[in-house]
Amino acid sequence: MNSTPGIRRADPADAARIAEMLHSFNTEFDTETPGAEVLAQRLQVLLAEPSTFAVLGGEPAVGVALVTLRPNVWSDGPVALLDEMYVEPEQRGTGIGSAILQHMVEICRELGVAAIEINVDESDAGAMRFYERHGFSGVDPDSGERAFYFYRSLEAGD
């Protein structure tokens, strides 16, 4: 399926490495994180379920795409959400992120996914350009209107 060496679908045994990268991602961008140990525990469970998968790049892994799947009333196949995409800073611009994303799309096709959604912060123009180069769009294909993401936390106290 994938011709780039070191690009592969993760399994639960990869949870600790994925957790380290996700913790680094949030730390890099001054975003709250529960820590790599908590993330690893959660990923161990999630990666064993059919509704979550990850793609790793590099040996050892230096990049990850974490995806969740959900049923959708509008299509026969599920919708995928690219929850997280991270490449270690020194590896950015080497093509590994593109290879990870391409492999993620291939897995989604194999799983019968109807659409892939990605949430990007408004200030992250680089990420938007990256995803647009790979065929993703920030506009509704039917109406041509910009797509927006709304969020509400249901954590205690919110």
pLDDT at residue 156 in the model: 74
CA 134/CA 100 separation, integer angstroms: 11
Cα distances (angstroms) measured from residue 29 to each of 22, 23, 109: 11, 10, 31
| DSSP notation for 29-61 | TT-----HHHHHHHHHHHTTSTTEEEEEETTTT
Place of tokens 């990256």: 130
CB 10 within 8 A of CB 53: yes
Q: Quickly count: other Cβ atoms within 10 Å of residue 55's Cβ.
A: 26
Mean pLDDT of residues grouped by 10 in the chain (158 residues)? 77 98 95 96 97 97 98 95 97 96 98 96 92 93 87 80
Q: What's the CATH fold of domain 7-133?
A: Aminopeptidase (3.40.630)
pLDDT score at 35? 96
pTM (2 decimals)?
A: 0.92
Instruction: Check residue 76 and give its pLDDT.
Output: 94
What's residue 147's pLDDT?
Answer: 86
**pLDDT recorded at residue 155:** 82
Q: How far is CA 2 from its chain centroid?
A: 17
